A = this chain, B = another copy of it.
Amino acid sequence: MQKVTPWEVKGEVDYSKLIKEFGTSPISESLLKRIKNHTKDLHFMLTRKIFFSHRDLPWLLDEYEKNNKFFLYTGRAPSGNIHLGHLVPWIFTKWLQDKFNVDLLFQFPDEEKVVFKKDLTFEDTEKFTRENMLDVIALGFSPKKTKFIIDTVHANLMYKHAMRVAKKITFSTVKATFGLTDQSNLGQIFYTSMQAVPAFLPSVIKNKNIPCLIPLAIDQDAHFRVSRDVMPKLGYYKPAIIHSTFLPSLLGPKGKMSASSSQDTIYTTDSPKTVELKIKKYAFSGGQPTITEHKQRGGNPDIDISYQYLKMLFEPDDKKLENIYQNYKSGSLLTSELKEIIIKKINFFLKKHQQKREQAKKNINKFILPT
């Protein structure tokens, strides 16, 4: 049985089932074409269906075409170090920002994980907020068009509007949507109201209704299933959403990379040696038990983690990816060779990322929304 909530992804994830369950829409070819009219090319995360589902994207494009520009909203609940899985929606968000030339509000809900994790404190999340910001900045977001909003730091801007949202949501609803219970704490129950706010805060500040597009991994959809119904009651547009699949854990193709175990995760701060070790030791393989057998029968790239990481993050070139796919499938590309490819790709990426992360340290304040 699959379970996909903002705080738990369990079981084998069937994405087409999620589309039905959550009531979202698949991204059709004609919608891709419409996007391409504006962006000239399509990010591989779109053509490869890493971003596979949406809410109200045609409406958002209607508005855009009427010169009613949207802004982007995504975020990160600081509670640990950033791993490759976190980067998927952010890299795509950066692409959207560049192509549509739009503002981005990036939320750091630093209270969320405090109320969901027994031993996590605000001292912890304060540290992680700063650390996580470095990863976001390192991806190259424009400081002019990107603002960080931190729930406890910007509570003066947010709390009142969170209460306006909270007034319109009953406990019954969050019980049903998030699987909360009578034993849930008040912070867990209230939190979704804060996650709703950045989707309309620019409309409040500029005193005019501005469309919003939220790129996110589909486990976060629950928040907006609830708050999208509320926003029109407060006088704002429902935000449009575009959903990504999860980057799988090193240990296997199903489920989601998680920051809770360092064995199944590659952090953005991992050294080249650590990356090599983790891939060689843990990365689930679609290959055969022996080289001879592999050459004879071929491997299965569809369940191979190294291949999946190339597809989702590290090989933008479709032709090269297809070659790898076919060679692995035919058996001419060995698992050890495929692992060398992904190790090289990850380490190439991380070397530059870690440099940019260092440089980001002096730029944090440029990104933080004025209080």
The answer to whether B171 touches A189 (Cβ under 8 A) is yes
Q: Given A122-B164, A156-B156, A163-B111, does the pair A192, B182 have CB atoms closer than 8 Å?
A: no
Over the window 97-133 of chain A, the binary record of Cβ atoms lying under 8 Å from chain B Cβ atoms (1 yes, 0 no) is 0000000000000010011000000100000000000
Contact among B158, B169, B182 with A155 in the assembled complex (CB-CB below 8 Å):
B158
Q: Is the CB of B155 within 8 A of A171?
A: no
**Nearest-CB residue, chain B, relative to A110:** B160
Q: Are A153 and B156 in contact (CB under 8 A)?
A: yes
> A167 contacts which chain B residues (CB < 8 A)?
114-115, 185-187
22 residue pairs of the A-B complex, CB under 8 angstroms, read A111-B160, A111-B163, A114-B163, A114-B164, A115-B163, A122-B163, A151-B159, A152-B160, A152-B163, A154-B156, A155-B155, A156-B156, A165-B186, A166-B187, A166-B190, A167-B187, A170-B185, A171-B184, A172-B182, A172-B183, A186-B190, A187-B193
A174 adjacent to chain B (CB < 8 Å): yes
* A371 at the B interface (CB under 8 A): yes
Task: Produce 1/0 per residue, A64-92, CB < 8 A to B.
Answer: 00000000000000000000000000000
CA distance A114 to B166 in the complex (A): 10
Q: Check A175 for interface membership: any CB of B closer than 8 A.
A: yes
Q: Which residues of B contact A183 (CB under 8 A)?
A: 170-172
Given contacts A122-B164, A166-B115, contact A186 B159 (CB under 8 A): no
Q: Measuring CB to CB, which residues of chain A are less than 8 angstroms from any residue of chain B?
A: 111, 114-115, 122, 151-156, 158-160, 163-172, 174-175, 180-187, 189-190, 192-193, 371
Contact of A189 among B111, B115, B152, B190 (CB under 8 A): B190
